[in-house]
C-alpha cells in the first residue's frame, strides 16, 4: 500500500488487471449482511492490506470516497451494511453492531477469502466514522489479529448518556433512522440505554493494549464532541503499550469540506502501520 497513490490513477484500465467490485453477503446473527468489496489494480502486486469500513448511524455520510482512494493506493476495501441497514437482513440494534463487524473481519481473514481477493491476513484494518467509530473500537477489543483500528469522529453512546445527551440521541434515532429496519425508535433507544456501559468505548479499553489506534477528531463536531467521546479513550490508551495517534481536522462531524485531508491521514497511517 502506497499513500502517494490515493489520488493517482493509471493512464487507462487494462482488462486483465483493472480494479474490480464484488458484491458480498455475509451471515451475521442469522441474517445476510449486504455490501461490496473493492480490489486494487493488479499492476500493484498482491497481497494487499484489507480495510473494513463501518458506517455511521444510519449511514447518510458515506465513505465511498475514502474507499476508492484506499483502493487506488493498493488496499482491498470491504463495505458492509449492518443488520437492518440499507437492505441487510435483521433488525437494527446497537448491540448487533460489534458482532456484525467481528463476523466480517473473521470472514476477511479466512484462507478462502484471503486467497480469492489477495488479502494479506496479517494486515487487516478497521475504520469507522461516527457510530462506526464506536463499532470498530469495540470490535477491535475482540479481534487480536487486527493490525490497526481507525476511529473517525467516533460517537460513544455511553458518553452521550452520561453527559445529558439523551434527547439528542433519541431525536437522532427517530428522525435519521427511518430508513432502517427498526421495530420502533423507542426500542432502539431503549437498547442504547439498557446497554450503555457495554457499548461505551471505554468499556474493556485495556483489551486494546498493544493495538495500533488512530483517532481523527473533527474540531467543530457538535454531534460527537471529541472531548466527551474520543479524547478520554485516547488518554487511557496512552498509558498502555501499542501506538496511539491523534489527529485533528478543522471541520464538522462529516468532514464534508476536508475529505481529501481525511483520506491522506488515514492512508498515511495505514501505510506506516502495515507489516511489511
The pLDDT tens digits for 214-234 are 999 999 999 999 999 999 999
What is the pLDDT at residue 117? 97
DSSP state of 220: T
Query: Taking the model in full, what pTM does it have?
Result: 0.95
Place of cell 497481497: 47
What is the pLDDT at residue 199? 97
What is the pLDDT at residue 63? 94
First to last CA, the chain: 10
| Paired strand residues for 151 | 128, 215
Count CA atoms within 13 Å of residue 177 on its CB side.
23
Neighbours of 142 (CB within 10 A): 15
Q: How does pLDDT run across 136-194, given as a tens digit for each residue?
A: 999 999 999 999 999 999 999 999 999 999 999 999 999 999 999 999 999 999 999 99
122: helix, strand or coil: strand
Place of cell 457510530: 131
CA distance 149 to 152: 10
Contact status, residue 150 vs residue 130, Cβ threshold 8 Å: no
> What is the span of the domain harbouring residue 146?
3-273
Any idea what the Cα angle at residue 21 is, between residues 17 and 25, rounded to 5°? 140
What is the pLDDT at residue 61? 83
91-94: long-range pairs with CB below 8 Å, 24+: 91/181, 91/182, 91/183, 92/58, 92/177, 92/180, 92/181, 92/182, 92/188, 93/187, 93/188, 93/191, 94/131, 94/157, 94/188, 94/191, 94/192, 94/195, 94/199
Instruction: Show the low-confidence residues of the chain (pLDDT under 70).
Output: none
What is the pLDDT at residue 276? 81
Q: What is the CATH number of the domain that holds 23?
A: 3.40.50.1820
Q: How many domains does the chain have?
A: 1
Place of cell 480494479: 19
Amino acid at each position: 500500500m502506497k499513500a502517494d497513490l490515493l489520488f493517482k490513477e493509471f493512464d487507462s484500465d487494462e482488462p486483465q488487471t483493472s480494479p474490480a467490485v464484488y458484491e458480498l453477503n455475509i451471515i451475521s446473527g442469522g441474517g445476510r449482511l449486504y455490501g461490496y468489496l473493492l480490489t486494487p489494480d493488479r499492476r500493484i502486486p498482491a497481497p494487499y492490506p484489507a480495510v473494513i469500513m463501518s458506517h455511521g448511524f444510519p449511514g447518510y455520510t458515506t465513505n465511498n470516497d475514502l474507499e476508492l482512494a484506499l483502493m487506488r493506493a493498493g488496499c482491498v476495501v470491504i463495505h458492509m451494511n449492518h443488520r437492518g441497514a440499507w437492505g441487510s437482513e435483521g433488525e437494527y440494534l446497537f448491540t448487533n453492531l460489534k458482532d456484525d463487524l467481528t463476523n466480517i473481519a473473521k470472514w476477511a481473514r479466512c484462507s478462502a477469502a484471503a486467497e480469492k481477493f489477495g488479502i494479506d491476513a496479517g494486515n487487516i484494518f478497521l475504520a469507522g466514522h461516527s457510530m462506526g467509530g464506536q463499532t470498530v473500537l469495540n470490535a477491535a477489543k475482540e479481534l487480536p489479529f487486527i493490525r490497526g483500528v481507525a476511529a473517525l469522529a467516533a460517537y460513544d453512546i455511553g458518553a452521550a448518556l452520561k453527559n445529558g445527551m439523551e434527547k439528542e440521541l433519541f431525536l437522532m434515532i427517530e428522525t435519521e433512522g427511518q430508513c432502517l429496519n427498526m421495530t420502533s425508535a423507542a426500542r432502539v433507544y431503549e437498547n442504547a440505554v439498557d446497554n450503555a456501559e457495554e457499548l461505551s468505548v471505554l468499556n474493556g479499553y485495556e483489551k486494546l493494549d498493544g493495538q495500533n489506534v488512530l483517532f481523527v477528531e473533527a474540531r467543530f463536531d457538535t454531534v460527537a464532541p471529541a472531548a466527551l467521546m474520543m479524547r478520554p479513550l485516547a488518554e487511557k490508551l496512552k498509558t498502555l503499550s501499542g501506538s496511539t495517534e491523534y489527529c485533528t481536522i478543522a471541520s464538522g462531524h462529516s468532514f464534508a469540506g476536508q475529505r481529501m485531508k481525511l483520506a491522506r491521514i488515514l492512508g498515511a497511517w495505514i501505510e506506516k502501520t502495515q507489516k511489511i
